[in-house]
Amino acid sequence: MNVPSYAFLAFAAVVALAINLSAKAWRRQAVLLVANLLFVLTFTRDPRQLAPFALLLAAGYGCTKLLERRKSRALFAVLVVALIVAFCALKRYTFVPSGLFLPFAYFTVGMSYVFFRLLHLVIDAYQDALPERVGAVAYVNYTLNFTSLVSGPIQFYRDYRRNESERPPALTGEIAAYALGRIVMGFFKVSIVSPLFGRAQSALVAAIAPGDPSRAVLAAAIVPGVFLLYLYFNFSGYTDFVIGTARFLRLELPENFERPFIATGFIDFWGRWHITLANWVKTYVYSPLLLAMMRRYPSPRVEPLLGVIAYFVAFFFVGVWHGQTSMFLFLGVLLGLGVSVNKLYQILMVRRLGRARYRTLCANPLYAACSRGATLGYFAFASLWFWSSWTQLGAFARALGPAGLVLAFVLLFAETAVATTAWKALDDAVRALAAQPQARTPGRYARLAAYSALAVLVVSVTVVLNAPAPHIVYRGF
């Protein structure tokens, strides 16, 4: 079943009705369990195709229960390594010996996101950090939650369990209107806006060809930013859609985006883009690694540099997670360099200027604009290794030549500085208008009219024009 789609909305509406008619927590859990299993079966009903995923889930549950009872460091290490190897083999990473691969096709939708939840449970069980002993029904509902199975967001277990209490999150008329607005906006982003940028990207890629150097350079400078907009509207639209849908099921999913285009540094950017992934990596990769290195090298002078190393390792992991080929290994290097160099730059500037003068510099509008341009330009550049290939990148380089490559880089950073400054100015203006007390009442009616118009537009495009279900970039993870 595609997410988002009208079939998914109809399925979620039936589940929401059943959940909201269930007064007891155990009944809501039972309804959600059936819904989650039925959702998985919409992808395949072949037991052979489902078996590997089911075995991974069973292994995760067994490891969690074992570590709840026995706090052994050696056992914990063996179980975590075994789970990671099994996951990498199921995802067919190129660095895994091919002899470990299964010789048939099988269900993998959402496997990476499920694996994050699974590892979270195993680690917290060993550290005795879970709010309770994990039951089988709660485990399945948490790992296979159909509203976030396909592409997240990644939710921690303690936050999920608050939704399953005897008093779940309220569903008032105002909350329902807000949730409907998120669904409409998400569908609009994914079905209308994102495909427009996707088509623009394809046209720009085709324009990077030998024969017209100026046209090729201009296209090469614009295409990374266009893909970044495509990715943002695609993934944030999906996130809006599932957060709004889950709210009708009395579930609160975490936010995944917080105005990423106003970020003034790469570390700040990852606090605003794919937030749940960044939080997971910081919790289970960055922080443990940093603490281990600080215990090994307990020097206040060395500590900031250890943070630089930990940032590189953590976000190298983020890049590698995105795919199985050498393209994503290099993406990991670029992401790791982005955050680690950003951290090192902050350390050096604080030492040179002091915290007060550095904060004053960061508040300077021109400096902030350049910082935003460098941050988003670099991420757009790094994303070339997300959507392209070594062969295609080689063709781009040959079409542009050395001078064209340099000029394209300069134009890319200039355009992102200008575009993000305009984006921030518009965002600030909209927020200032919404904060005015006299604007709130008419604002409700204006939002209702806007969402109604968006809903009509989306239905017209997708139904009247028989548009296919939108493609979600992160569905393959």
> Is residue 437 over pLDDT 70?
no
Nearest to 112 by CA among 62, 158, 149: 149
Compute the half-sphere exposure of residue 286: CA atoms within 13 Å on the CB side of its CA.
Answer: 19
Residue with tokens 């204006």: 446
* pLDDT score recorded for residue 19: 95
Quote the strand ranges of 113-259, DSSP E: none
The CA distance from 104 to 471, in Å, is 25
* pLDDT score recorded for residue 267: 95
* pLDDT score recorded for residue 443: 60
Residue type, 425: A
Residue with tokens 């509008």: 365
| Average pLDDT of the chain to the nearest whole number | 92
Q: Are 368 and 412 in contact (CB under 8 A)?
A: no
The CA distance from 319 to 313, in Å, is 10
Q: How confident is the model at residue 469 (pLDDT cuts 50, 70, 90)?
A: confident
314: how many CB neighbours lie within 10 A of its CB?
A: 24
- Candidate from 168-182, 392-406, 453-467 with smallest mean pLDDT: 453-467
Q: How confident is the model at residue 438 (pLDDT cuts 50, 70, 90)?
A: low
Residues shown for the chain? 477
Q: Which residues pair with 273 in a beta bridge?
A: 257
What's the rounded mean pLDDT across residues 75-88? 96
> What's the longest Cα–Cα distance across the chain?
69
Nearest to 281 by CA among 328, 322, 221, 242: 322
Compute CA distances 389 → 327, 394, 395, whole Å.
7, 8, 10
* pLDDT score recorded for residue 439: 53
The CA distance from 390 to 392, in Å, is 6
Compute the half-sphere exposure of residue 249: CA atoms within 13 Å on the CB side of its CA.
Answer: 32
Q: Is 273 helix (H, G, I), strand (E, B) or coil?
A: strand
Q: How confident is the model at residue 441 (pLDDT cuts 50, 70, 90)?
A: low
pLDDT (tens digit per residue) in 263-299:
999 999 999 999 999 999 999 999 999 999 999 988 8
48: how many CB neighbours lie within 10 A of its CB?
A: 12
Q: What is the DSSP letter of 257?
A: B
Q: How confident is the model at residue 206 (pLDDT cuts 50, 70, 90)?
A: very high
Q: Which residues pair with 257 in a beta bridge?
A: 273
Q: What does the CA dihedral 190, 467, 476, 231 come to, rounded to 10 degrees?
A: -30
* pLDDT score recorded for residue 126: 96
What's the rounded mean pLDDT across residues 298-308? 88
pLDDT (tens digit per residue) in 1-42:
888 889 999 999 999 999 999 888 899 999 999 999 999 999
Q: How confident is the model at residue 452 (pLDDT cuts 50, 70, 90)?
A: confident
Task: Find out whether the peptide bond into 153 is cis, omega within 30 degrees of 0.
Answer: yes
* pLDDT score recorded for residue 431: 81
Q: How confident is the model at residue 178 (pLDDT cuts 50, 70, 90)?
A: very high
* pLDDT score recorded for residue 440: 53
Q: Under 8 Å CB-to-CB from 91, ≥6 apart: which residues?
A: 108, 111, 112, 324
* pLDDT score recorded for residue 81: 96
Nearest to 388 by CA among 220, 216, 190, 217: 220
Residue with tokens 């150097």: 213
* pLDDT score recorded for residue 473: 84
Q: Under 8 Å CB-to-CB from 236, ≥6 apart: which residues?
A: 186, 189, 256, 257
pLDDT (tens digit per residue) in 127-142:
999 999 999 999 999 9
H/E element holding 372?
helix 365-382
Compute CA distances 333 → 221, 291, 308, 326, whole Å.
22, 22, 13, 11
